[in-house]
């Protein structure tokens, strides 16, 4: 699973989760913009940076997500940060956070950089040491879902869905978090069928996610395209199995392709 991409997207869509992770008020997220920065004339690129909004004196946060052992991570990270500071000359102070699944992956040698750690300028966070998901803020619990073993990830996802529906009052944010939980599961279980994904989420939740909506649209477009090539009626009928396999109901397929329910059921056989 591309865990770095998952976490950078998480911080992009829910920056308040990052500030909760480092023990700061989640409201601080409104003072920052999360992005990646390229260091000119080098091969370095820092994928995660929380830059204060213009005119703010808040400190810059550099974020590194590290899910594989790398003995040179700290020499690379410090070098990238120092080059960024030299090229950009920001007036803001800075800090760095390295996110690990557990301590075993933290194999970097801090000998030459220990002052950064003892001063607290560079912090390390181990997800497996943050506590049980049910006792954590919902954002941090969602981040921990990434490291959950396969046999308990589905159970935790269901719990998160229930918490999202009961704790998140804003419909847009609730929808966004449901989509993100579903994205994590899609990465964790790449061979899982749409039907199994529906059972995991519950049909009503899945219908609201981008994953489901894109599948619906893909099925509709496929039916239209096949209709153009093979003849409208025949093309629609040939598109039925693919749309049903994508997780749409018989009634939804009938409505999308302007067919009767009976025609859809016959095409399914």
CB neighbour list of residue 142: distance below 8 Å, 6 or more residues apart: 10, 14, 17, 160, 177, 180, 181, 184
Q: Which residue has the tokens 């997220």?
A: 29
Q: Please, what is the average pLDDT of the chain?
A: 82
The stretch 175-202 carries a mean pLDDT of 76
- How many C-beta atoms lie closer than 10 Å to residue 38's C-beta? 12
Paired with 62 in beta bridges are: 49, 96
Name the more confident of 98 and 45.
98
Domain range summary for the chain, segments of one domain joined by +: 3-201, 210-268
Tell me if 121 sits within 8 A of 95, measured CB to CB.
yes
3-class SS of residue 94:
strand
pLDDT > 70 fraction of the chain, expressed in percent and rounded: 77
Name the more confident of 176 and 118.
118
Q: Report the distance separating Cα 191 and Cα 196, nearest Å.
A: 10
Mean pLDDT is lowest, of 33-47, 75-89, 118-132, 196-210, for 196-210
pLDDT in tens, 232-258: 466 567 677 766 655 566 776 776 677
Mean pLDDT is lowest, of 11-15, 51-55, 97-101, 215-219, for 215-219
Paired with 34 in beta bridges are: 50
The pairing of beta strand 45-52 with beta strand 60-65: antiparallel
User: Shortest CA distance to 123 belongs to which of 64, 206, 170, 41?
Assistant: 64
- How many C-beta atoms lie closer than 10 Å to residue 123's C-beta? 16
pLDDT in tens, 21-51: 999 999 999 999 998 888 776 667 788 999 9
Give buried/exposed letters for 43-77 (b at 16+ CB in 10 A, else e). Answer: ebebbbbbbbeeeeeeebbbbbbbbeebeebbbeb
How long a stretch of residues is the chain? 269
Paired with 37 in beta bridges are: 46
pLDDT in tens, 122-179: 999 999 999 887 889 999 999 999 999 888 888 888 899 889 989 998 888 888 888 8
Q: Report the distance separating Cα 217 and Cα 175, nearest Å.
A: 18
Q: Is this model's pTM higher than 0.85 or not?
A: no
Q: Report the distance separating Cα 70 and Cα 26, nearest Å.
A: 30
The stretch 188-193 carries a mean pLDDT of 74
Residue 19 has what pLDDT? Answer: 96
Q: Report the distance separating Cα 251 and Cα 230, nearest Å.
A: 23
């Amino acid at each position: 699973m591309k865990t770095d991409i998952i976490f950078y997207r998480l911080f992009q869509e829910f920056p308040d989760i990052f500030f909760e992770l480092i023990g700061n008020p989640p409201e601080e997220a409104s003072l920052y913009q999360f992005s990646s920065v390229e260091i000119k004339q080098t091969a370095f690129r820092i994928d995660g940076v929380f830059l204060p909004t213009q005119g703010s004196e808040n400190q810059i946060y550099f974020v590194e997500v590290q899910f594989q052992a790398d003995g040179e991570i700290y020499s690379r990270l410090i070098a990238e940060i120092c080059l960024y500071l030299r090229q950009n000359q920001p007036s803001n102070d800075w800090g760095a956070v390295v996110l690990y699944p557990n301590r075993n992956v933290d194999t970097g040698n801090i000998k030459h950089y220990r002052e950064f750690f003892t001063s607290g300028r560079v912090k390390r966070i181990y997800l497996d040491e943050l506590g049980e998901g049910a006792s954590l803020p919902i954002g941090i619990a969602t981040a921990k879902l990434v490291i959950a073993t396969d046999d308990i990830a589905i159970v935790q996802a269901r719990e998160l869905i229930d918490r999202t529906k009961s704790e998140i009052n804003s419909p847009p944010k609730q929808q966004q978090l449901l989509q993100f939980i579903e994205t994590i599961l899609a990465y964790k279980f790449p061979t899982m069928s749409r039907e199994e994904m529906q059972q995991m989420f519950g049909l009503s939740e899945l219908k609201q996610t981008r994953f489901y909506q894109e599948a619906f649209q893909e099925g509709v477009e496929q039916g239209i395209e096949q209709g153009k090539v093979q003849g409208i009626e025949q093309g629609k009928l040939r598109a039925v199995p693919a749309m049903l396999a994508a997780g749409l109901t018989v009634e939804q397929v009938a409505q999308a392709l302007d067919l009767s329910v009976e025609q859809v059921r016959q095409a399914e056989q």
